[in-house]
Amino acid sequence: MLEPAVTITDFVLATQSFCFAVLVYRESTDLPWLTFFGTLCIASLAGGVTHGFIPEESSLNYAILWKAALIAIGAMTLAGWYVGARFLENNRVARWTKKFAIVQFFLFSAVV
């Protein structure tokens, strides 16, 4: 294992976020929260494998997993915006917040 502390931390985070996603799914199937924890799990798994088991940053496996981790983090951020928009009292502002978040996610994904 190349970076044990980071790898183990990533795998523990993946396990915890998976458990939260299962709990959310069992209770309500609330899509923004489910997406938040699901993409956190994916990002943590991809990061753990990348940090722990792929030594060459120039390899194709590293590039694929690292980009998958970054896009999963972007999707997690998008879900976080959706969750946060629920707390806004003004529905018009909430709708614009969600639209902004979608644009932000696609721009981020294009950069990645």
Q: What is the DSSP letter of 90?
A: -
Whats the size of the chain, residue-wise? 112
Angstrom distance (rounded) from CA 109 to CA 112: 5
- 28, pLDDT greater than 90: no
Lookup result for tokens 């981020």: 108
Amino acid at 24: V
| The pLDDT value given to residue 69 | 96
| The pLDDT value given to residue 39 | 97
Mean pLDDT (whole number) for 86-104: 96
Angstrom distance (rounded) from CA 4 to CA 20: 24
Angstrom distance (rounded) from CA 47 to CA 38: 14
Mean pLDDT, the chain, whole residue set: 96
